[in-house]
Chain A
């Protein structure tokens, strides 16, 4: 009897076949916008180093309609990225206390609490 194994190829559209793969690809896409926003912050630092006029121009550009739209899009993707990441933390960082596993919701809740604390500290530091 002859052996002739047949290998089926993965289609380019594999990620469209199941909702879980679409959700994964959206999550991968969020990295692009998180990266773009990081680049925007880097540009802000460069403009700050170039003096008051350069900085004022940067702030004006941020407040312009294209600037607001860009930041809003980045915010949506950053929130999607953060929420899905927090949901995954119990898998990556399970905790055992007293020989018993800590419930996943407690680990996720701790991340949201830390997020809130850091946000408040940043807002206070920014004088808002």
Chain B
């Protein structure tokens, strides 16, 4: 008989369940399979009622984030071979309400993300006829790393402050705010500061650093937040010394 591997998947069906419970599935083991392949096998052959999100199967779309053996991971990026010989525990991402099975409710994140205005707010509006807002490669390098975020929410599941403080804006949104603040074409830092530099923004972060450790795209949100703390403190000091001059 060919080798198999067992997955212990957290199930929650709101129509019938009062709380989530684990359900075990045994699937074929293949060296090249990732956890997402195993879930697809369950869905196609064992239990069509299992719900989960996925799209690209190549660590680009950010849809398939889950807790795999307690660690936030993209299920398309977690190979079965790394869990061989054990039972793989698969749960929805921590710190989010469970909609159904492995599907989380991400409304809170979407609201937090839009609150930091993660888009270019040009210093001066130009007419279309004036052409593009140009940027040198060196200016791009300053923030390039922070553009890699795929909003997979692994950092929110890893951050204890997100779990303990519901209103904390959180790692990905603050990293994206930093990305636009660093952009040479952008003039929206003061607008973003209302949320970014508030208690629920950068100051709720205690630099656990887990967000950066679990990020599948090496965005390093912890670095972004600490840099924002430093620059916000400098802005505050400037404003104290010369009130109103830096708006």
Check: B183 CB closer than 8 A to any chain A CB: no
Residues in chain A near residue B98, CB distance under 8 A:
5-8
- Cβ-defined partner of B227 (8 Å) among A3, A5, A94, A99: A94
Check: A128 CB closer than 8 A to any chain B CB: no
The interface on chain B, measured as residues whose beta carbon lies within 8 A of the other chain's beta carbons, has a size of 33
Pick out which of these stretches binds chain A: B36-44, B54-62, B112-120, B204-212: B204-212
Pick out which of these stretches binds chain B: A16-24, A48-56, A118-126: A16-24
Residues in chain B near residue A14, CB distance under 8 A:
160, 163
Interface pair B207/A88, CB less than 8 Å apart: yes
Residues in chain A near residue B213, CB distance under 8 A:
20
Residues in chain B near residue A2, CB distance under 8 A:
14-15
Interface pair B12/A6, CB less than 8 Å apart: yes
A18 shortest CB reach to chain B, Å: 7
B210 shortest CB reach to chain A, Å: 6
Interface pair B163/A10, CB less than 8 Å apart: yes
Interface pair B97/A7, CB less than 8 Å apart: yes
The interface on chain A, measured as residues whose beta carbon lies within 8 A of the other chain's beta carbons, has a size of 26
Interface pair B209/A20, CB less than 8 Å apart: yes
Residue of B nearest to A28 (CB): B206
Residue of A nearest to B229 (CB): A92
Check: A80 CB closer than 8 A to any chain B CB: no
CA distance A24 to B198 in the complex (A): 23
Interface pair A94/B223, CB less than 8 Å apart: yes
CA distance A28 to B71 in the complex (A): 22
B213-247 to A contact mask, C-beta < 8 Å, 1/0: 10000001011001101100000000000000000
- Cβ-defined partner of A91 (8 Å) among B19, B94, B222: B222
CA distance A32 to B84 in the complex (A): 43
CA distance A37 to B99 in the complex (A): 49
Interface pair A91/B70, CB less than 8 Å apart: no
Interface residues of A in 84-119 (CB under 8 A from B): 88, 90-94, 96, 99, 101
Check: A70 CB closer than 8 A to any chain B CB: no
B2 shortest CB reach to chain A, Å: 34
A91 shortest CB reach to chain B, Å: 4
Given known contacts A6-B12, A91-B226, is B160 in contact with A99 (CB within 8 Å)? no
Residues in chain A near residue B226, CB distance under 8 A:
88, 91-92
B3-44 to A contact mask, C-beta < 8 Å, 1/0: 000000000101100011000000000000000000000000
5 A-B pairs within 8 Å (CB atoms) are namely A2-B14, A6-B12, A24-B208, A99-B138, A101-B141
* B residues whose Cβ falls under 8 Å from a Cβ of A: 12, 14-15, 19-20, 70-71, 94-95, 97-99, 105, 138, 141-142, 160, 163-164, 206-210, 212-213, 220, 222-223, 226-227, 229-230
* A residues whose Cβ falls under 8 Å from a Cβ of B: 1-8, 10, 14-15, 17-18, 20-21, 24, 28, 88, 90-94, 96, 99, 101
Q: Nearest 9 pairs between A and B by C-beta?
A: A5-B97, A91-B223, A92-B226, A4-B14, A99-B138, A10-B163, A6-B98, A7-B97, A24-B208
